[in-house]
Each structure stands twice: as C-alpha cells, then as structure tokens.
Amino acid sequence: MRWLAIAALTLFSTLPMNISQAQADTFKFTAIPDEDESRLVERFDKVADYLAEKLGVEVEYVPVKSYSAAVSAFRNDQIQMAWFGGLTGVQARQLVPGSIAIAQGTEDAAFRSYFIARRDLKLAGDASEPLDALPESIEGHTFTFGAKTSTSGRLMPEYYLREQFQEAPDEVFSRVGFSGDHSRTIALVAAGTYDVGAVNFAVWDAAVKDGKVDPAKVQILWQTPSYPDYQWTLRGDVDSRFGSEFTAHVTKALLDMKDPDLLESFPRSGFIPASNDDYAPIKAVGEQLGLLR
C-alpha cells in the first residue's frame, strides 16, 4: 500500500506544475495604450479571438496602462507579442534579444504626424489646408505631445520641432505637456487647454470620421514627412514554447487578416511584412534625442 500512497502523493504534487504549464501555454499579447482603453479592449479582444482560431492555442489580450508598461510586460515575459509604436518596439527589442518585428500596417511604412491647433487662433493665417511647413506663429504658444515615448506623438514631432527652431520644445513654447494618448491630445486642443498638439494621423482621421472632432474648430497646421511606425513585435523564444514554426504561423495569421471590421478598428487597410532593420531611422532619432540608450 505504501507504493499507492507514494503514487498518490506524486500525482497531487505535479498538479500545480501542470496547471502552471497550461497557463504558460496561453499566448498573450498587448498594445500600447494610444487611445481610450475601452476602445482598445473592444479592438484587441476581437484580435485575440481571430488569432486563437488561426493558431489553435489560447490567446489573451492583456491591457496595460502606459507605453512603458507595455515594454515592461514584454521584457518580463508577461506577454509574448505586442502592437508597439516605432520607438517602443525598438526599446522592447533592445531589452529582449532575439525579438523581431514581424508585421506592420500597410500605412505604417510611411506614417505621419499632424500638428493641430484651434482654428480660431489663426496660427496658419487664412489657410484652409495644411501648410507646407510648420508656421513660425506657433512659437510662444502652449503645446502638448502625446505619451512621452510615443513615436508619432512625441519622438518625430520633437525631431521636426528641433530641426526647424534649433531649440528644445520647452524653449519654443510657453508651456509643454504630455497628454498620454492621441485621443486626449485632440480633446485638450479642442477644449483650449493647449493651443497646439502633435497627433498620430490615423487617430485624427478616425476621430474626424467618427464625428469626435470638428475640423471647422480644430485644424491641421502641418503634416510631417513620413517615417516607419507601428508594428507587431514577437519574442524570439515562442517557437520553443508554442511549437516549431510558431513565429511563421503568427506572421501568416497577421498578414492574412482581411476582415474589414478587424482592420477598421486599428485603423489599417491590411498588414505587410516588417523587419527590425525597417526601424533603424527610429533608433537613430531616439538615440539623438536621448530617448534610447
């Protein structure tokens, strides 16, 4: 009977390990919180369902509160994939060697930022369309970036501000803030809390389409030149955890995403292949501005 007791003890002692292993085999991903959290949860829960069907594993979207939290979750293996911006993707891949950018939105190969302002300030004079360059008239006004590590809401806008004015933003403007996300930037400028702001062009276009901003009251002053931005970044150890060629399967699932409802929520017209080398320009600007080590 002693061997039965030992066998029973062995069985029960292994159950927690088996349960933990099952939990570890859930493929988890997150996304930088660049918009309202409820919108993100609605969007990425749908993506989780789509990936689960395509990959044949449990998939869970894990929301985070900040851009830095997304990078930390990736570094600590709390998630295995993330929808990062250009800068956060570079940060994450530096922290987790072997990680790779696998796909980007069709629009992300040539992304843009808008500088926006209240139209009644007439910072662009009587122009009805975006100007060919940032107007000198923005100097001395109040200004808000998005999140501190946002590519389209901070990194590239600051780069172009420094290029034009040859000064740091806090020397150009009377007050500089960080809204935290693009939707908030639009709302703060519309409310007059800040005179000028920098936003992701895709979030702006979606907000206009959804009637959440009145372009008769808030105008686009200038559109930046294009740069690479958002991408899906995957940890390099997923094949050893989820099966051989898992990286290829995830990549294919993303590139094959054709459902207009899923794509509209990003919003993107589709996904195309991406690589770490695509983000060399972002890495160079991040290092230049002291946002990357």
For residue 15, give its domain range: 2-109+229-288
Please tell me whether residues 148 and 249 are part of one structural domain. no
Residue 82 in any domain: the answer is yes
Q: Does residue 21 sit in the same domain as residue 98? A: yes
Return the structure tokens found at 203. 């979030």
- Asked whether residue 25 is assigned to any structural domain, the reply reads yes
Q: Are residues 104 and 200 in the same domain?
A: no
The CATH code of the domain that includes 175 is 3.40.190.10
- Report the pLDDT value the prediction gives residue 25, as an integer from 0 to 100: 85
Q: What is the pTM of this model?
A: 0.83
- Give the domain-ending residue among 223, 248, 277: 223
CA quadruple 123, 126, 128, 132: dihedral sign: negative
Query: Which two three-digit tokens encode residue 44?
Result: 């990425």
Distance of CA 7 to the CA centre of its chain: 50
Q: Are residues 239 and 198 in the same domain?
A: no
* Contact of 247 with 102, CB cutoff 8 Å: yes
Asked whether residue 100 falls in the same domain as residue 155, the answer is no
- The answer to whether residues 136 and 121 belong to one domain is yes
Put residue 40 in one of left, alpha, beta given phi > 0 → left and psi -120 to 50 → alpha: alpha
Instruction: Let me know whether 92 and 124 are in one domain.
Output: no
**E strand residue ranges, the chain:** 27-31, 59-61, 81-84, 100-105, 113-118, 142-145, 175-178, 196-200, 218-223, 231-234, 271-273
The per-residue pLDDT for 2 is 39
Q: How far apart are alpha carbons 220 and 118 in whole angstroms?
A: 9
Helix, strand counts (H, E) of the chain: 12, 11
**pLDDT tens track of the chain, all 293 residues?**
434 333 443 333 333 333 334 344 899 999 998 777 777 888 899 999 999 999 999 999 999 999 999 999 999 999 999 999 999 999 999 999 999 999 999 999 999 999 999 999 999 887 778 999 999 999 999 999 999 999 999 999 999 999 999 999 999 999 999 999 999 999 999 999 999 999 999 999 989 998 999 888 999 999 999 999 999 999 999 999 999 999 999 999 999 999 998 998 778 999 999 999 999 999 999 999 988 87
Q: Does 293 reside within a domain?
A: no
Q: Tell me which residue of 267, 266, 221 sits closest to 113, measured CA to CA.
A: 221
Q: What CA dihedral angle connects 165, 169, 170 and 173, to 10 degrees? A: 70
Q: Write out the DSSP string of 205-231.
A: HHHHHTTSS-TTTEEEEEEPPPB---E
| Domain edge (last residue) among 177, 193, 223 | 223
Q: How many domains does the chain have?
A: 2
30 contacts: CB under 8 Å, gap ≥ 6: 61, 62, 63, 64, 70, 73, 74, 79, 82, 83
- The 8-class DSSP code of residue 121 comes to G
Rounded Cα distance, 262 and 269, in Å = 10
Please indicate, yes or no, whether residues 82 and 21 belong to a single structural domain of this protein. Answer: yes
* Amino acid, single-letter form, for residue 118: R
Same domain as 77, residue 42 = yes
Residues 160 and 105 in one domain: no
Place of tokens 């809204």: 179
Note whether 31 and 100 are same-domain residues.
Answer: yes
Please tell me the predicted confidence (pLDDT) of residue 39. 76
DSSP class per residue in 248-292: HHHHHHHHT---HHHHHTTT-S-EEE--GGGGHHHHHHHHHTTS-
